Amino acid sequence: MRRTAILSDIHSNLEALEAVLEDARQQRCTDVVCLGDVIGYGPNPRQVLRLALRTFRFCLRGNHEEGVLFEPVGFNWKAEASAWWTRDQLKSKRFPGNENQKFWAYLQHSPLYVEEDSVLYVHASPLDPTKEYIMPEACYNPEYMRAVFARIKRIAFGGHTHLPGIFLPDRPFTAQSRIHGNFPVTDGKLFVNVGSVGQPRDGDRRACYVIFDGRHIVFRRVAYNFRRTARKIKRIKRLPNALGARLALGL
């Protein structure tokens, strides 16, 4: 039986990604997919992309990939600063040109979404795969949620908000902190936010990802050396220090 580790929002956080990949190995996952935002915010875009190329069965395009490939339109000042710095890192002549080209091609050819049978993978939303935020309070807008679930055959996985949990039609959002053990996939539709590997924002600083075996969803929280990541960010003058400080808070 396939056990898929579903990751999102790594944000150039090498320590978090390595910890999650080790946990996925220990959990006997048979493959790994990523829902986008591999880069941005964090200090190790090249190292993370090397792991992505070796490890991920596929990796979607997130809004931070678009911000680096094109322009960081609509980004706040911290995200914009990190996007320009990340672009320079991936194009710098200090690194091998063939590797730069490989990274750039990988980002350019990353799909906006992947659909496998009745399972949809997006970065953000079934309505807008790279940019739309489906926040927990969206569950109280029934017309909007009907539009979202109309695009889902059976189950969809997304990230983008960094807030893990599960949406079901006509029910309140269930946060990851309230889900213990296996969440059974039964009749009806689901939209699952898998949370963030590299920059959690739900008050839990541990990395978050999901394991899906076709019958159950399991949220995994994995501790990592966030202090090391924060120190790296602090040493890079062009990256706002706040991007590292927030890792200790999970916000």
Query: Once rounded to an integer, what is the mean pLDDT over residues 8-22?
Result: 98
pLDDT at position 170: 84
pLDDT at position 2: 87
pLDDT at position 188: 86
pLDDT at position 186: 82
pLDDT score of 200 more than 80: yes
Query: Once rounded to an integer, what is the mean pLDDT over residues 81-104?
Result: 94
Specify whether the CB–CB gap between 112 and 120 falls below 8 A: no
Query: Once rounded to an integer, what is the mean pLDDT over residues 1-21?
Result: 96
pLDDT score of 1 more than 90: no
pLDDT score of 71 more than 80: yes
pLDDT score of 23 more than 80: yes
* Dihedral over alpha carbons 58, 60, 61, 62 (to 10 degrees): -130
Average pLDDT, the chain: 95
pLDDT at position 54: 95
Specify whether the CB–CB gap between 184 and 215 falls below 8 A: yes
pLDDT score of 187 more than 80: no
Query: Once rounded to an integer, what is the mean pLDDT over residues 80-108?
Result: 94
* Phi, psi (rounded to 5 degrees) for 174: -105, 110
pLDDT at position 234: 96
pLDDT score of 203 more than 90: yes
pLDDT at position 174: 94
pTM: 0.95
Q: What CA–CA distances, in Å, run from 95 to 51, 76, 180?
A: 17, 28, 45
Query: Once rounded to an integer, what is the mean pLDDT over residues 33-50?
Result: 97
pLDDT at position 250: 92
Specify whether the CB–CB gap between 229 and 247 falls below 8 A: yes
Percent of the chain residues past pLDDT 90, beyond the cut: 92
Q: How many angstroms separate the CA atoms of 98 and 234, rounded?
A: 29
Q: What is the pLDDT of residues 127-146, one digit of tens each?
A: 999 999 999 999 999 999 99
Beta bridge partners of 116: 119
Domains and CATH numbers, the chain: 4-248 (3.60.21.10)
Confidence band of 198 (pLDDT split at 50, 70, 90):
very high
